[in-house]
Structure 1
Amino acid sequence: MIKVYSKESRFSRDHGWLQSNFSFSFADFYDPENLQFGSLRVFNDDFVQPNEGFGKHPHQEMEIVSIVLDGELKHADSEGNSAVTTFGGIQRMSAGTGIYHSEFNPSSTNEVNFFQLWFLPDKKGVTPEYEKTTYDISKMKNNLLPVVSRQASENVAYINQDVTIFMSDLEIGNELTHTQEAGRKMFLFVIEGEVTLNGDIKLSKRDSVRLTDETSAKILANSDARFLLIDLV
């Protein structure tokens, strides 16, 4: 089954300092028919103004991934971790038994745009942990580049769940196919540009697709396109 979600279907909230777009129920947006997709519980597309951000707040029993698309994002937490991430970087936090953290735009001039994803962990009670990794942006070109996975490496952040997140820059006319075992799911999010999925599904900037009981996804770039693909349970 393939279900398409246009960018207009997302719940949006403008707080002045923060423009948020929710793909799933979050905060004051509640839709009992849209709570999660497999282990993916939250997918927020956030724009934070200069010198603004989320103050210290708690998390527990959740895998939290922040992917910066533009600008700078500063993280600090109760475990003593602190780091600034830009495009080409990943922040992954295992909230585990409990942690406090803040996320802030340290720039005085430029907004930051980032995705924040929450995944349900495959085990509870882990010690809270923070990790920052970087990946080679050039390797996204016409390729599905893993940036988060349970099979971690030097440039791939670890996650306590059977999930892999890929980033890709697909040039116009090029095509990529991702295959997976039966019973798994795929979540595709178009960041920029336009693509065609499996021959006939047209997708534009900020549209997304949820694939269930499909073993492959064929993605053709109708223009130069950037997208994120998640292989998950």
Structure 2
Amino acid sequence: MSAINMDIHRAEDRYTADHGWLRSNFSFSFADYADADNWHFSSLRVLNDDYISPGTGFDLHPHHNMEIVTIVLEGQLEHQDSSGNKEFILPGQVQRMSAGTGIYHSEHNASEEKKLHLLQLWFFPELKDAVPSYETFTYGLDHLRGQLLPVVSNKSGELNTAHIHQDMTLYLSKPGAGQTICFRQQAARSTYIFVIEGHLKLHDGTLLYSRDDARIINTNEIRITANEDSHFMLIDLP
């Protein structure tokens, strides 16, 4: 097993934007946060950790040539777009939207009482100016127990996931305390790990806590052990 070549980014070092109705933590440069050394990792351009107050949200706004993935962690997201889609997304579901030649959408907290917590990721597309498309994929939180479950991939037919126009696969996992998850990184690939909740240890002894991330290149097998019940995301990238 080779040593891990990686950068660690701690939760407390993320940029935080607080707009009152919205509190967002940026893992990469976004909006008012500009850092030339933290612009993207492989094709992953944005990871925002958003808390949206009851009865509020983002009004209709445009996107162009970006693959957008939204994972609801708590609450209920109301989505509407210029292609006529209107849906409510819950924990245990993932939303994928390919902006392509251009699309408008709105995102609101569907509740007037409860907060909405979500992760939103943007990926550079493999193919520009595609026809805009949208889907919601239900994976079920129970299916994350003790395994890496693919939920978004360009190999959607093979893996039964939401489809994305980029050579990547996004996995979610909820290992119990003491469980070890193994992932084999293929040659010339990159791996991004984001701890949603819990406490993880990598096989080289590196400790990752809630909202920390690891950006890994040039290794082979990655062993991830949960020091407590945990929830994390792993993305296989070009």
Shorter-chain TM-score bucket reads over 0.9
Q: In the alignment, does 2:136 pair up with 1:132?
A: yes
Once the two structures are TM-superposed, the CA of residue 211 in structure 1 deviates from its matched residue by: 0.3
Show the counterpart of 1:101. 105
Corresponding residue number in structure 1 for 2:116: 112
Indicate if the aligned counterparts of 1:135 and 1:155 stay in contact, CA closer than 8 A: no
| Structure 1 residue 63 corresponds to structure 2 residue 99 | no
- What's the CA shift for 1:181? 1.1
1:76 touches 1:83 (CA, 8 Å); kept in 2?
yes
Q: How many residues align?
A: 233
How many angstroms apart in 2 are the aligned matches of 1:125 and 1:45? 27
Amino acid of the structure 2 residue aligned with 1:112: L
Q: TM-score, normalised by structure 1?
A: 0.98
Which residue number in structure 1 is paired with residue 86 of structure 2?
82
| TM-score normalised to structure 2 length | 0.96
Contact 1:134-1:155 within 8 A present in 2 as well: no
2:90 partner letter: T
- Paired residue for 2:175? 170
- Between 148-157 and 108-117, report the one with greater CA deviation: 148-157
CA contact (8 A) 2:199 2:227 kept: yes
User: In the alignment, is the contact (CA less than 8 A) between 1:39 and 1:120 conserved in 2?
Assistant: yes
Q: How does 1:13-52 map to 2 (within 5 A)?
A: 13-52=17-56
Determine if contact 1:43/1:117 at 8 Å carries over to the other structure: yes
**Letter in structure 1 aligned against 2:224:** I
- Measure, in 2, the Cα distance between the counterparts of 1:31 and 1:198: 30
Q: 1:109-128: per-residue Cα shift (whole Å, max 9, x none)? A: 11111000000000011101
**2: CA distance, partners of 1:116 / 1:169:** 19
* SS of the residue 1:139 aligns to: helix
Q: C-alpha root-mean-square deviation of aligned residues, in Å? A: 1.0
Q: Give the unaligned 5+ runs of structure 1.
A: none
Is contact 1:194–1:221 with CA below 8 Å preserved after alignment?
A: yes
Deviations along 1:113-153, whole A, 9 cap, x unmatched? Answer: 10000000000111011111100221110000001011115
4+ residue runs over 6 A deviation: none
Pick aligned residue for 1:204 from 204, 209, 214: 209
**Which residue type is aligned with residue 52 of structure 1?**
T
Corresponding position of 2:222? 217
Of stretches 206-215 and 42-51 in structure 1, the one that deviates more from structure 2 is 206-215
The alignment-based identity, stated in percent, is: 47
Deviation, 1:155, is 5.1
Contact 1:24 1:42 in 2 (8 A): yes
Show the counterpart of 2:153. Answer: 149
Tell me the equivalent position of 1:229: 234
Quote how far apart the aligned CAs of 1:179 are: 0.4
Unmatched 5+ stretches in structure 2: none
Measure the CA separation in 2 of the matches of 1:198 and 1:205: 18
- The code of the aligned residue for 2:236 comes to D
2: distance between equivalents of 1:148 and 1:217?
20
Which of residues 154, 164, 188 in structure 1 aligns to 2:193? 188
CA distance in 2, matches of 1:131, 1:188: 24
Paired residue type of 1:169: K
